Structure 1
Amino acid sequence: MRIGEMNWMQVESYLQVDDRCVLPLGSTEQHAYLSLSVDSILSERVAAEAAEPLGVPVFPALSYGLTPYFKDFPGTISLRMETYLHILQDMLDSVYRSGFRRILLCNGHGGNAPAGAFAMEWMADHPDASVRFHNWWSAPKTWAAVQVTDKVASHASWMENFPWTRLAHVTAPEVQKPMTDLELLRLQNPAGVRRMLGDGNYGGFYQRDDAEMLAIWSVAVAETRALLEGPWA
């Protein structure tokens, strides 16, 4: 259930019988012809669908992350590492104070990887709590489903193009973009990244059949739910 559909008294009652919650992590950054909020939309939605049958609360996604390489694409917002980790600490400290002890960080943005290392540091200071860091899109079963569908899959390509991330009245190209040299891309400053990427897609088709996408999505939801179910220790 989404925490926005609960009041504090319901959360307090829930914590009498369970101590799990989900904190989705997202980003606001360019995704070619898709929404700038792709990563936040997907991380919160996969978490909510996974948690619903279990009755586990899902907090709103942290909609800003670490994406300095996309700064030259208008609309992108990137936090500094120090800022981001302070926010993450405050989030974890807050849910811990409420009584949550098993926390799933459901991440939708590759640049947020430092959150995983920070979670381990935070757990060292909170030995009675467990935090799982979950890159939902690259988890083993989900990534396998992506690869079976189309091995050329990347940022802002078809693999992020769901009915709920595309924009009305925006038509993406019906071509397969050649894959970008990722090693060379990582050496670029923001201006260089924009020059190399053009529209922002790293490589691959821009859209695939919705039936294929929903099949991948069902795998992602099930895989995320399995992590929530545990074991946690």
Structure 2
Amino acid sequence: MRWWELTWPEFEKVDKTVALLPTGIVEAHGPHLPLGTDALMATYIAEEAAKRTNVLLLPTVWYGNTYVLDKFPGTISISNETLYMLYRDIFREVARNGIRYLIVINGHGGNADALNMAAKDVAKETNLVIIIINWWIDLAKEARKKVLETPEGHAALIYSCGRPLYGCEFH
């Protein structure tokens, strides 16, 4: 159930036990993947989870922090301080709106410090329980193993049927 599509009277009536927050970044992912890959992956996982469990889905936080890939065109990196304050304020608002458990589906490693700090601070001052899932670590062990075995690692081309994956058919 998409939080932003509800009217406020509808929102008053929904189950506020659990909400999901996808987060990522807009950054370079090689020449073959979209700049929004991290946010898109987190959004997909959160949308599927929300559909299957009928919990509230918050809008994706598309911005994050990187200190490595900001050299590439199209990357948008915000400071860790700004990111921390953004997460902190979102978490506070989620708590103020009566959510009991917030599950953050994080799609970018550079967000982890700000997420953890904001979660710790907001948990001290509210009753909100915040669970942070770094999907590529917590949910995708086999996929991570395949990616890390490639020489390029992050966003590397995956070869299958003798050529880059985007040149192969999916079955």
TM-score (norm 2): 0.84
Say yes or no: does 1:119 pair with 2:116.
Answer: no
Task: After TM superposition, give the deviation of residue 146 of structure 1 in Å.
Answer: 4.2
- The size of the alignment, in residue pairs, is 164
One-letter amino acid of the structure 1 residue matched with residue 118 of structure 2: F
Task: After TM superposition, give the deviation of residue 117 of structure 1 in Å.
Answer: 3.5
Matches within 5 A, 1:2-151: 2-14=2-14, 17-32=15-30, 33-114=32-113, 115-126=115-126, 128-139=127-138, 141-147=139-145
Q: Give SS of 2:57's match.
A: coil
Task: After TM superposition, give the deviation of residue 93 of structure 1 in Å.
Answer: 1.1
Question: In the aligned structure 1, how far is the partner of 2:166 from the partner of 2:64?
Answer: 24
> Is residue 27–residue 65 contact of structure 1 (8 Å, CA) maintained in 2?
yes
Q: Give SS of 2:13's match.
A: helix
Match of residue 169 from structure 1: none
Task: After TM superposition, give the deviation of residue 24 of structure 1 in Å.
Answer: 0.9
Q: Give SS of 1:124's match.
A: helix
Q: Give SS of 1:113's match.
A: helix
One-letter amino acid of the structure 2 residue matched with residue 6 of structure 1: L
Q: Give SS of 2:71's match.
A: coil
Provide structure 2 residue ranges, at least 5 long, that are not aligned to the other structure. none
One-letter amino acid of the structure 2 residue matched with residue 81 of structure 1: N
Match of residue 164 from structure 1: none
Give aligned-pair identity as a percent: 31
Provide structure 1 residue ranges, at least 5 long, that are not aligned to the other structure. 160-173, 176-204, 212-233
One-letter amino acid of the structure 2 residue matched with residue 83 of structure 1: T
Question: In the aligned structure 2, how far is the partner of 1:210 from the partner of 1:79?
Answer: 36
One-letter amino acid of the structure 2 residue matched with residue 35 of structure 1: P
> Is residue 101–residue 129 contact of structure 1 (8 Å, CA) maintained in 2?
yes
The RMSD of aligned alpha carbons is: 2.4
